[in-house]
Amino acid sequence: MTDRYRHTDLIDCTTTLFQRAGLDENIAQTVSEILVEAELLGYGTHGLQFVPAYIAGIESGRTATTGEPAILKDTPGALLLDARRLPGQWVVVRALDLALKRLADNGVICVAIRGSENISCLATYVKRAAARGVMAVLTTSSPGNAAVAPFGGRAPRYSTNPIAIGIPTDGTPILIDTSTSSTTNRMIERTRRSGSRLAREWLVDNTGRPSDDPEAFYTDPPGAIMPAGAPDQGHKGFAFAILVEALTSGLAGVGRADGLAAVGSNMFLQLIDPRAFGGLEAFRRETGFFAEHCRNTQPLDPDAPVRMPGDRAVAFYDEQCVSGVALHPEVLPRMKPFFEKYDVPLPTPIAS
């Protein structure tokens, strides 16, 4: 059986680690909370496994360790922030705080953010908004990264451009967190490490042929991920990836046009208050009805009932809050040298 860890223990020890590495206490706390929330939701690929990379960013001086994102532009419904290479978790949580404060007066707030460090699991942030009865959209792109080919093309041009959407309902909140590409860098890496093939031909190799071989991604010149929906529906994944580019780098006003090394990640956060439209109760009734209506659809596979996005994550969250977090076996061993270096005790598993 996998060891389980109390999520509060994981937050505490990771906070101490980040603090000793140089992050301000409140920043260290926020980064740790979001990483552990990703674990609670079952997004192990976007949780504590980032700790070594984040420590490296702090140690190298690339990641800012103190301060706030700077407000570059401010109108009632729109904010432009410079993340100043602060940890992305801190930046988004601060943006969320800012936007929530203004939401009641304005109904809708959009925040474009330039130059952030990694933000890990997008679902964690929109979940926080949904818990307050607010609909949220969060998206990010990495102008320095090119992994996905445009529809009909064979070379990488943009990042996997994920979108997360949090939707309150009168039951379980709907939590969407999905890339606009057929697969992700992380899935390709993992498949390569295991020596297997992708489930479908989600890649195009550098000769222009569809491929399920992860090695096709690492050639010179490189292959590329195809947009979500490829082959026949790839124009749709491409369309949503373009939306992300416009919302992130377009609104931030800095991105691929400015050269690769210029920027970190750009982000776009939008909050929508149902109270400013038909009301929160009516919103929850409609979204809750729709969710139930979908869940109650006869499934293709009798053993696989229709789920709404977020159903599984919320169930993981609730279960792991009680029974402890089941970490992927790779995570603690990878973190161990950093705990030792900064003289922080490793978390101890819950007695089973």
Per CB under 8 A, contacts with a second copy among 128-147 are 135, 137
Closer Cβ to a second copy, 10 or 165, answer by number: 165
Q: Are 143 and 262 in contact (CB under 8 A)?
A: yes
Closest approach, Cβ 256 to a second copy, in A, equals 6
What long-range pairs does 58-61 form, CB within 8 A, spacing at least 24? 58/18, 58/21, 58/22, 58/23, 59/21, 59/22
Token pair in block for residue 4: 């389980």
Query: Of the listed pieces 39-47, 77-85, 92-100, 311-319, which binds a second copy according to CB under 8 A?
Result: 77-85
User: Longest Cα pair distance anywhere in the chain, in angstroms?
Assistant: 55
The only residue of 114, 115, 134, 216 in contact with a second copy, by rule CB under 8 A: 114
Q: Render the burial of 75-103: b for 16+ CB within 10 Å, e for the rest.
A: eeeebbbbbbbbbbbbbbbbbbebbbebb
The site string for a second copy over 212-231 (x = CB under 8 A, - otherwise) reads: ----------------xx--
Angle between helices 7-21 and 25-40 (to 10 degrees): 140
Closer Cβ to a second copy, 4 or 154, answer by number: 154
Say whether residue 71 binds a second copy (CB under 8 A). Answer: no
Q: How many residues bind a second copy (CB under 8 A)?
A: 90
Residues numbered 273-332 forming contacts with a second copy, rule: CB under 8 A: 273-274, 276-279, 282-283, 285-290, 293-294, 297-301, 304-309
Closer Cβ to a second copy, 20 or 102, answer by number: 102
Closest approach, Cβ 194 to a second copy, in A, equals 19
The site string for a second copy over 3-42 (x = CB under 8 A, - otherwise) reads: ----------------------------------------
What long-range pairs does 349-352 form, CB within 8 A, spacing at least 24? 349/3, 349/4, 349/5, 349/324, 350/3, 350/4, 350/5, 350/6, 350/323, 350/324, 352/1, 352/3, 352/4
The only residue of 233, 318, 321, 341 in contact with a second copy, by rule CB under 8 A: 233
